[in-house]
Each structure stands twice: as structure tokens, then as C-alpha cells.
Amino acid sequence: MKIELDQEKCIGCGFCKERLPSIFFLDGYTARLTDFGRDIDGSNEILIKQLEAAAAICPAENISMDQEKPAREA
């Protein structure tokens, strides 16, 4: 599964980092993915629900997930 963040839309509120610090971190005022966040197992249903919750609370609607795409492109 691939998580995508639109860096231009990010307002740096940190809600994603507060909800899932193992996936997101703030670089100044921009959300970024941790190394773990770049390599998500799409079969982990609990993590997917947590990511959906993080995406739902993002005021910039900045977080999207594509379960069909691999996390890391070769």
C-alpha cells in the first residue's frame, strides 16, 4: 500500500503525527513519512483503519492511500 502526502497542501498542524507517530513526522511545518510509513503492509487492517482516521481528521485533506500500489517503487 502506498501513502501519499501532498506537500503543497500541508498546513503543518501535526494531527497526523499525533495520531500515528510511527508513520508521520513534521519537517518544519510539513508532514513527511517515516521510513516505516514508506513501507506499509496493506494487509494490516488495524493500521489501515488508523490511517483512514488520520486522513479523515486532516484539515488540509492531504493524506491519501492507494492499496493497489506497492509502497516502494522499484
Instruction: Delineate the domains of the chain, giving CATH numbers in brackets.
Output: 2-65 (3.30.70.20)
Long-range own/partner contacts, residues 24-33 (CB < 8 A, 24 or more apart): 24/54, 31/5, 31/62, 31/63, 32/5, 33/3, 33/5
Each residue of 32-63: pLDDT tens digit? 999 888 878 888 889 999 999 999 999 999 99
E strands, 1-74, where? 2-5, 24-27, 30-33, 63-66
- How many percent of the chain have pLDDT more than 90? 59
- Rounded Cα distance between 1 and 30, Å, is 22
pTM: 0.82
